[in-house]
Amino acid sequence: MAFNLLKGKRGIIFGALDENSIAWKTAQLAHEEGATFVLTNAPVAMRMGQINELAEKTGSEIIPADATNLDDLENLVNKAVEILGGKLDFVLHSIGMSVNVRKGRHYTNQNYSWTEKGWDVSALSFHKVLQTLHKQEAMNEWGSVVALTYMAAQRSFPDYNDMADNKAYLESIARSFGYFFGKENKVRVNTISQSPTPTTAGSGVKGFDGFFNYADKMSPLGNATAQECAEYTITLFSDYTKKVTMQNLFHDGGFSNTGVSQEVMENF
């Protein structure tokens, strides 16, 4: 059921890898809600994913870009504005990667060059995206930029490793850049702190299944799905959330405010 929430709006969606990804579902929904957009991902993800299929379904063009590379981002933003025929109304940053996690290095024994790579991809890239949009004056007034995050930025989860630090940094950028983008261009910047979600990226975290089930039992409404996260993201791109900015918004079925649930206590 479509509500035309994004009728006539233009944007860029980063990070759609396959149909399990939140960015993929957001792209599908944005299309249903009347938006036009370009899709972008790192050249390596292009080869792995099925992004062409998504582009076809949503009538979108794909512009490969390394989100850590300023030349790539400049090209992406210029081309997007040109292809879409005007300034942008929304951008989704759905990018995260930890080499330490991938290669099984414990948090207390990091390879720091891997740490820096993960931080650049997962967090600093958000600043680079915002800075490029800001410098090129590519956003319309009341535009909206959203990045996806996780509660490990506030609380300790043993296996989330250096991604927890990356997410904390990402959320801080949303507040800091959000101030200037709001003041100067009336653009809002927010992060969505999503439930653990069985995406290609999320499932890579050690012990994911056990943790997913625990979070589901801890949350009064249960875990939020990737589809539900896409729905929430669309509301943040719409005109109904014009004064929401610099926020980290928990979309987790109530997990973040639950001390302990009946189900979890019964397990002990």
pLDDT at 227: 98
pLDDT at 208: 87
Helix 125-135 vs helix 163-185: angle between axes, to the nearest 10 degrees? Answer: 10
Summarize the annotated binding site as residue ranges. Answer: 15, 21-22, 95, 167
What value does the mean pLDDT take over residues 172-183? 98
In CATH, what is the architecture of 10-267?
A: 3-Layer(aba) Sandwich (3.40)
Summarize the annotated binding site for NAD(+) as residue ranges. Answer: 15, 21-22, 95, 167
What value does the mean pLDDT take over residues 131-155? 98
pLDDT at 19: 94
**In the predicted model, is pLDDT for residue 200 greater than 90?**
no
pLDDT at 1: 80
Cα 90 from Cα 67, distance rounded (Å): 16
Average pLDDT, the chain: 96
pLDDT band at 70 (very low <50, low <70, confident <90, very high): very high
Domain boundaries, the chain: 10-267
What value does the mean pLDDT take over residues 198-223? 89
What value does the mean pLDDT take over residues 199-210? 80
Instruction: List residues with catalytic annotation.
Output: 150, 160
pLDDT at 231: 98
**In the predicted model, is pLDDT for residue 47 greater than 90?**
no
Cα 101 from Cα 107, distance rounded (Å): 9
**Both structure tokens of 152:** 């490990």
pLDDT at 207: 83
pLDDT at 252: 98
**In the predicted model, is pLDDT for residue 230 greater than 80?**
yes
Considering only CA atoms, which of 223, 194, 224, 118 is closest in space to residue 161?
118
Percent of the chain with pLDDT over 70: 100
Residues near 7 by Cβ (< 8 Å), separated by ≥ 6? 33, 34, 35
In tens, the pLDDT along 88-126 reads 999 999 999 999 999 999 999 999 999 999 999 999 999
pLDDT at 202: 78
pLDDT at 105: 97
Q: How far from 256 is each of 64, 153, 218, CA to CA, in Å?
A: 35, 12, 9
**pTM for the model:** 0.97
Percent of the chain with pLDDT over 90: 91
What value does the mean pLDDT take over residues 200-226? 90
CB 42 within 8 A of CB 66: yes
Residue the block writes with tokens 């987790």? 252
